[in-house]
Every structure is written in C-alpha cells, then in structure tokens.
Amino acid sequence: MVLISTALWALVNQPAMVPHIVAPEPWSNPANPATPVQQGEASLATVTLETLPVKGRAPKTGYNRAHFGDGWQLVAGCDTRNRILQRDMLDVVLSDECKVISGTISDPYTGQMIHFMRGAQTSALVQIDHVVALSNAWQTGAQNITEIQRIALANDPLELLAVDGDANQQKSDGDAATWLPANKAFRCQYVARQIAVKSRYGLWVTPAEKTAMQTVLAKCPEQILPTEK
C-alpha cells in the first residue's frame, strides 16, 4: 500500500472546502467553443450567472444515465471516482497507484469530518456528487449537446465533489431552488460551481433556480468561479 502524508498531499491538492481565490483562466464552452468565459469581471459568479439562459426545465423524457457514459471514465488506468477521492481527501492510503483504501475528508456539504474506509458496508459513506445532477443537466440543455460532451461533463473534476453519502442522497436531482448544503459556509462555493458547470457546457437555469442562486450570492458578491482542467 502507498501512504500519502498529509503534508505532501496538502502541497499538491486543494480540498473542496478551500475557496478558489485566484482569478481563473478563461475556458471554452464545449457546446460553443467560440464563446470562452473571460477573465476579470466575468469570472465573478454573479456576472456569469447573468449570461446563462433562463428557461423552464425540459421534459425528463429519454433521460438515462448511460447518455453520460457507462459509469466512471478511465484515464491512465484510474477511474474518475478514485481520482476525485484522491483529490478531496487527506491522509490517503492507496492499494496501488489508483484505488483509495482509506482517507479523511472534510465534507463540504455537512461540515463534518468523515473517515473513509473502503468496504462493502462503508464505501457508500463517501460518494462522488455531480454538483449539477445529471438528470438536471439533461433537462437544462445536456440533451442538446453531443454524447462526447455529456461524458466529459459527467467526469469533469469541476462537476464532481467527494461528499457525505447521506447528503448526496438527500440532494438527489435537486437544483439550487430545492436543495442547498446544510453547511451554510459552503453555499457560495457550491452555487458558484454549479454556475461554472452550466456555463462550461452550455446549460440553462430555471427562473426559480436563478433566484435561489442570486439569494445565495447576495451574501458573497465577490465569489469567484472555480476552475479545473
């Protein structure tokens, strides 16, 4: 087994609870590569929110998880779940260069510390949440992008957080209008991440969703969009 020390891991990884304070670089929207998100003012969550189309949810007809790929994607022999666990945890123990056996996570959704141990009865205590639920993405524009883009969305580190399993189940396919993290200190970052994902993949927000996001961001108008490659 490989033990990654807390000190070393802190140098190379940023836990989900740490705010992004560096102005992000621009990135292209895969659904419309000609319209990149700009630096500066447009990197503010409040500004980017105003660029998102506002529509009602499309019917869920035809939604299937398989439209976003067959499970977690493998990159260099390591699947997305284990890569996100490695990114978001401290004191990570690996059974090889990929599989996480144990670690500790400061859960962004509840604010609690969770000690993860891989096992049939314990693995589900920490789950990988799609910050924009895939069914929500499907109903807000993802059915109009390509399958390659949907697979990219489902495996994009920007879209994923290791979180408390119960909180993830409570969220289900909710958007910001129907579910927010119990940990109020994380709500600004959470909403900003949803906005960043929707901007990156050309998705829209519903009127109620936009109102809920504006309410959250009113308390943190300087919140910067997170960026991850």
Whether the per-residue pLDDT at 59 is higher than 90: the answer is yes
CA 149 to chain centre: 16
**pLDDT at residue number 37:** 41
Whole-number mean pLDDT of the chain? 86
Secondary element (H or E) of residue 105: strand 100-106
Residue 14: which pLDDT band, with cuts at 50, 70 and 90? very low
Whether the per-residue pLDDT at 206 is higher than 90: the answer is yes
**pLDDT at residue number 15:** 39
pLDDT, tens digit (0-9, with 9 covering 90-100), for 129-138: 999 999 999 9
**pLDDT at residue number 228:** 81
Q: Which of 17-31, 68-82, 114-128, 166-180 has the lowest mean pLDDT?
A: 17-31
Q: Which phi and psi angles does 159 have, rounded to 5°?
A: -90, -5
Kindly report the pTM of this predicted structure: 0.82
User: Please, what sign has the CA dihedral across residues 66, 191, 159, 162?
Assistant: negative
Q: What is the DSSP letter of 138?
A: H
Q: Please report where in the chains the tokens 């580190």 appear, as a residue.
A: 157
Output the CA angle 81-102-151, nearest 5 degrees. 0
**pLDDT at residue number 23:** 28
| Half-sphere CA count of 148, side-chain side, radius 13 A | 2
What's the whole-number mean pLDDT along residues 191-220?
Answer: 98
Whether the per-residue pLDDT at 74 is higher than 80: the answer is yes
Whether the per-residue pLDDT at 55 is higher than 80: the answer is yes
Secondary element (H or E) of residue 94: strand 90-94
Q: Which of 59-63, 151-155, 208-212 has the lowest mean pLDDT?
A: 59-63
Residue 229: which pLDDT band, with cuts at 50, 70 and 90? low
